[in-house]
Amino acid sequence: MNIKLAVLPGDGIGPEVTSQALKVTEAVCQKYGHELHYEYGICGAHAIDAVGDPYPAQTHQLCMESDAVLFGAVGDPKFDNNPSAKVRPEQGLLAMRKQLGLFANIRPVETFDCLIHKSPLKDDLVRGADFICIRELTGGMYFGPKKEGDDEAYDTNLYSRAEVERILHVAYGYARQRRRHLTVVDKANVLASSRLWRKVAQEIAPQYPDVTTDYMYVDNAAMRMIQEPRFFDVMVTENTFGDILTDEGSCITGSMGLLPSASIGTHTSVFEPIHGSWPQAAGKDIANPLATILSAAMMFEYAFSLKAEAADIRRAVQRSLDENIRTADIQVAGQRPYSTTEVGQWITSQISQKSE
């Protein structure tokens, strides 16, 4: 297979973790006989500094012409600490999602037995937790009408029936591939937009009689994720709630540096870690690359239907954890921490050795 990638490293630790995922991708393609071509694009703070636009037209064109996008992270303190900034790195991320039609974000939350001790939750609560959060990605407050002033500001949580229907159908599709249990998360007791979500979900549920559907307010869902994470199989929710809940989900695994994601929709799909740019660590070679490497595994599976290749990456990641080839954030006490580059090289070598 010929594979053309757009590689958008972004800001902070983005270039460091993306480079390791790209090495793994190259090793997999070489092993399985795929022809890999890739081209770099700019986005985020880097793009603002270079051309004044966090998602330039040239970058968008590259994404549209590619089979998949491998993405790092965006964000920089000089924008975070400046409330009056008119252009921000995160605007590039939102523009990319909107222009590529990426309406569904798929975020798996899965525990690793050898990392249970890193979770702030008790072993008997998190062991075996394995669920997917499907977040609507191009609607809600992040994209609705807004006003920002010195004395008044608002964001509009706007959703249409069509937007809710399409993300629900995606969620039911994933539930059918798993344990056939879907939880619709909303705030229907307070928000009109959530009442639309629940109404549409109740109308669609009979189309999937093989899937158990339940409904949960977002505050209850946040509590239930901590009290009983194994309850969930597939969770679907709107943009803002999904952003918050999936970050909470990272605590279940013990590190945000372990969670990959896929954003899918109308055009080219984007694969990225859920963590941010962590600018304080940029250039120190200490960031955990596993979430980005696992995002590459999702890319092989979801963008190209290459399940064997994806499984190979996941096995290599599991071996790195089992043999304590880990960055400092997840390393076992008494073991030396490995650098970003060392972890990436070790996983790459594991994949390459299999072809010898």
Smallest CA-to-CA distance from 320 within 102, 119, 24 is with 24
User: Are 257 and 294 contacting, i.e. CB atoms less than 8 angstroms apart?
Assistant: no
Give DSSP secondary structure letters for 200-226.
HHHHHGGG-TTSEEEEEEHHHHHHHHH
- Please give the helix or strand (H or E) that residue 155 lies within, else none: strand 153-155
Neighbours of 138 (CB within 10 A): 22
CA dihedral 49, 83, 7, 305 (to 10 degrees): -170
Q: Which residues of 3-42 are buried (b: 16+ CB within 10 A; e: fewer)?
A: bebbbbbbbbbbbbbbbbbbbbbbbbbebeebeeeeeebb
Smallest CA-to-CA distance from 294 within 324, 320, 323, 322 is with 320
Q: Is 98 a catalytic residue?
A: no
Active-site residue identified among 130, 247, 285, 329? 247
DSSP label of 286: -
Smallest CA-to-CA distance from 327 within 315, 339, 344 is with 339
Q: Is 155 a catalytic residue?
A: no
Active-site residue identified among 123, 219, 307, 354? 219
Alpha-carbon span 294 to 311, nearest angstrom: 10
Q: Is 142 a catalytic residue?
A: yes
Active-site residue identified among 55, 142, 174, 208? 142
Alpha-carbon span 266 to 272, nearest angstrom: 17
Beta bridge partners of 148: 153
Q: Is 159 a catalytic residue?
A: no
Active-site residue identified among 118, 159, 187, 233? 187
Structure tokens that stand for 167 in this block: 């993300």
CA distances from 41 to 56, 73, 99 (A): 9, 13, 16
User: Are 271 and 69 contacting, i.e. CB atoms less than 8 angstroms apart?
Assistant: yes
User: Are 283 and 267 contacting, i.e. CB atoms less than 8 angstroms apart?
Assistant: no
Burial class from Cβ neighbours inside 10 Å (0-12, 13-18, 19+) for residue 274 reads buried
Active-site residue identified among 11, 186, 233, 243? 243
Q: Is 219 a catalytic residue?
A: yes
Alpha-carbon span 94 to 245, nearest angstrom: 18
Instruction: Kindly list the catalytic residues.
Output: 142, 187, 219, 243, 247
